[in-house]
Structure 1
Amino acid sequence: MFSGCGINQANLNLWFETIADLAEHEKIALYYLCSVSSYNLENALDKLEDVNLSEGSLKDVAENLFDEFYLNDVPESVHAYIDYEKFALDCELNGDLFEFEFNDTTWTCTNASGV
């Protein structure tokens, strides 16, 4: 977390005054913003609530999103032909979803292109 957020002597006070008291999901969002999206620490702290995270692999999250938003519009006879891996790849290539690891857990940002 120190490395991902760029904690150093100049901003160590932020760690003790702000970051240490964040909820777990906020710490994960902060890590994503700093280490993946290259935000500086101060800007990342302002955008924590803009990050949507789901625990799980990109494929699993993409499958859940597809089922939630699109499956009802697909005829039952076509359900067996849905390729969730290709849908997940499209979401990744479009920048909509991004998978990353934090504390040995896989997370997927579901609004990566909007952050």
Structure 2
Amino acid sequence: MSAGAFHGRAESMYFAQPYNLSATGFYFADLEEYQTKAATAVDDFGQPVEEFELQYIDGDHAELFRALRVSQASLADWFELVDALGSEEDRYLIACHLADLGYAIGDLADGWDDYAIYRGTAADYAAEMVADCYELPDNIIAYIDYERLGRDMILGGDITELKYDVILIGG
């Protein structure tokens, strides 16, 4: 899972592609602009256009938009979620993971506080956990295979490797 170059509250650009082949789509950046343009969209015969496929064109939330399969029905919820995410990259990474697991757009904000992001390898996390939880003598610590312990934590579902050096804890 990659978040790309996350910059937070940067402006995103979307495109509403009409299903009606005789109509022209439009770009929009927020819900109000979408609603205004959708309300005035007509096809070549002057008939109102009612259905659009929404496409994410540019911005920092493409992965989450794709995972949530945002549509006309969920567009208002999408913009509320983007506001709630703010500029926190950790929340964005957690939201992407939860969306990939099938969480609905309205349930993401309730779920992301149950998780934390650890920046480092699984072996680093395992070493930190052992150091925090146990007071072991140095001669025993030398025998602990943190690489294997970290791998076992991933395989056991205790942690999730989201991308290189980014570990998801919790759930």
Q: List runs of 5+ in structure 2 lacking aligned partners.
A: 1-63
Per the TM alignment, residue 57 of structure 1 is displaced from its structure 2 partner at its CA by 2.6
CA RMSD, Structure 1 to Structure 2 (Å): 2.0
2:78 to 15, 31, 36: 15
Q: How many residues align?
A: 106
Identical-residue share of aligned pairs (%): 27
In structure 1, C-alpha distance between the alignment counterparts of 2:161 and 2:111, rounded to whole Å: 19
TM-score by length of 2: 0.54
1:6 to 69, 76, 99: 69
Per the TM alignment, residue 80 of structure 1 is displaced from its structure 2 partner at its CA by 1.1
In the TM superposition, structure 1's runs of 4+ consecutive aligned residues that sit over 6 Å from their partners are: none
Per the TM alignment, residue 107 of structure 1 is displaced from its structure 2 partner at its CA by 1.9
- Name the structure 2 match of 1:30: 95
Question: Which of the pair has the greater relative contact order for Cα pairs under 8 Å at 6+ separation?
Answer: 1
Specify whether residues 91 and 106 from structure 1 end up closer, same or farther in structure 2 by C-alpha distance, changes over 3 A only: same
Per the TM alignment, residue 87 of structure 1 is displaced from its structure 2 partner at its CA by 0.7
TM-score by length of 1: 0.76
Specify whether residues 44 and 91 from structure 1 end up closer, same or farther in structure 2 by C-alpha distance, changes over 3 A only: same
Q: List runs of 5+ in structure 1 lacking aligned partners.
A: none
- Name the structure 2 match of 1:54: 118
Q: Which amino acid aligns with 1:31?
A: C
- Name the structure 2 match of 1:77: 139
User: As a proportion of its length, which structure holds more strand?
Assistant: 2
Secondary structure of the residue that 1:110 maps to in structure 2?
A: strand
2:160 to 98, 111, 114: 98
**Which protein shows a greater Rg?**
2
User: Does structure 2 conserve the Cα–Cα contact (< 8 Å) formed by 1:63 and 1:84?
Assistant: yes
